[in-house]
Amino acid sequence: MTIPTIPQTIDETREAFASGRTVPLKWRREQLRAMGTMLSESAERIEQAVVEDLGKNSAEAHLTEVRAVSMEVSLLLRNLKSWTKTRRVRSSALMGTSRASVQRQPLGTVLIIGPWNYPLHLMLMPLAGAIAAGNSVVLKPSEMAPACSALLAELVPQYLDRDAIQVVEGGVDETTELLEHAWDHIFYTGNGAVGSIVLKAAAEHLTPVTLELGGKSPLWIDSSVSIKKAARSIAWGKFTNCGQTCVAPDYVLATADVGAELADEVSKAIEEFYGTDPRQSKDYGRIINERHAERLAGLLDDGDSTSGQVVTGGVADVAAKYVAPTVLLDVAPDAAVMQDEIFGPILPIVIVDGPDAAIDFINARPKPLALYAYTRQRKTRKAFEARTSSGGLTFNTSVVQLSVAKLPFGGVGASGMGAYHGEASVETFSHDRSILRKTRGLDFTPVVRPPYGRRKTQAITGRKVVGGRKTH
């Protein structure tokens, strides 16, 4: 079998959209149902591919890559009709007899580019939304998760409309070529540096984009919550997928006493989850590749006194792509680990004076994708709501906010633009077209037409006109 060139693939998906067959709800339903079948019939192969790429437990792989996407597909199927229908809205009194409505239309042919950390989830979740909105799609999975990329390229043509939904495998060269073409929308998930490349390329064709980026997601915790329980919740959010989660808590802000207690409790939670030697645990994953493992090992071994005290972990084996779950206490804001998104299993705790200092610390840095506060203090909760900006704000839990389908998921500022999940996905991949129809007569009230004599000027401006021109 010969692999089609990128221009051929784009032409085919464009023709599929131009044929009009992706627009009826029947096609969208069939494709979403086929996605559901693909996920259930291929669940074990999906788990295997994720385990091969990320070395994590297959149950965790099932949860994030199969279960989460199946739930989204079911949600879209249940709500397809209501989320895609044309809505009547009130017309203006000026229009006289008329009807106004908003028609939700597909955008056309969209490009979805994904990263390696949840390699199938981050392709299939936006794909479900793009299908629900009636688009044709080209998927570009990450080359850094090759088993998942190959599986996607095999399964998509097997289950879905072969012309309307296609996969292009490859790395930077292929993505660069894809980005040279005009699209009706580009949906990119990954780091901000490439996000900027995507945005520049899209600007050439005035293509709208969604950028699902990352960055450092801070977490504030105070003594109004059970530190022991919070530590289990934080440890799960941080060390799942070896910290390679865009919304994983990146670092903790706490007062000295709370920080010390939390460091101790998170260390205990690590032992509960992964035993005394996480390296031997079948439930603890690996870093995606040696380059990233080396980067993380460098953060552990930067020979810098600002990096704080290693409470647990602190070791890495780059060749084995292993980085121990690590807690660092009393880390200075200028430490290396506090500069860029960690995207690995290292949890620094920075000591601050209180919630106001934590908010100042957060606001002095780029807007986060996720912001967490573990607190039962109403005043603190209100302060976080009123005085911070982030993609999402979550109280007293971490990472699981993504499973609330009614909550749009996306960043703000440096953490991204646009959102998806549930109805937000349908909105992202649709254009809401305004339709106005005069039901009787062809024009609206003659008062707006020139010439503007005194009477008309008075009617338009609401001011009394003295000695104006006579109305014709």
Closest separation in Å from C-beta 238 to ligand NAD: 14
Q: Which of 47, 212, 265, 427 is catalytic?
A: 212
> Nearest approach, Cβ of 86 to ligand NAD (angstroms)?
30
Q: Is position 40 an interface residue for ligand NAD (rule: CB under 6 A)?
A: no
Q: Binding residue for ligand NAD (CB under 6 A) from 22, 84, 142, 428?
A: 142
Query: Is residue 420 involved in binding ligand NAD (CB under 6 A)?
Result: no
Q: In 3D, which of 292, 346, 275 has the Cα closest to residue 315?
A: 346
Quick one: which of 18, 71, 89, 172 contacts ligand NAD (CB under 6 A)?
172
Nearer to ligand NAD, 180 or 257 (CB): 180
| Closer to ligand NAD by Cβ: residue 246 or 327 | 246
Interaction residues for ligand NAD, span 280-319 (CB under 6 A): none
Minimum distance, C-beta of residue 319 to ligand NAD, in the bound complex (Å) = 21
Closer to ligand NAD by Cβ: residue 118 or 384: 118
Of 2-10, 22-30, 172-180, 226-234: span binding ligand NAD (CB under 6 A) = 172-180
Which position among 246, 265, 341, 427 bears the catalytic label? 246
Query: What mask, x for binding ligand NAD by CB under 6 A, covers residues 246 to 285?
Result: x---------------------------------------
272 catalytic residue (yes or no): no
CB 38, min distance to ligand NAD, A: 21
The answer to whether residue 212 is catalytic is yes
Tell me whether residue 274 or residue 409 sits nearer to ligand NAD (CB atom).
409
Question: What is the footprint of ligand NAD within residues 188-227 (CB under 6 A)?
Answer: 189-191, 194, 197, 212-214
Binding mask of the shown chain, residues 119 to 138, with x at each position contacting ligand NAD by CB under 6 A: ---x----------------
Residues that bind ligand NAD (CB under 6 A): 113-117, 122, 140, 142-144, 171-172, 175-176, 189-191, 194, 197, 212-214, 246, 341, 343, 369, 411, 416
Active centre residues (catalytic): 212, 246
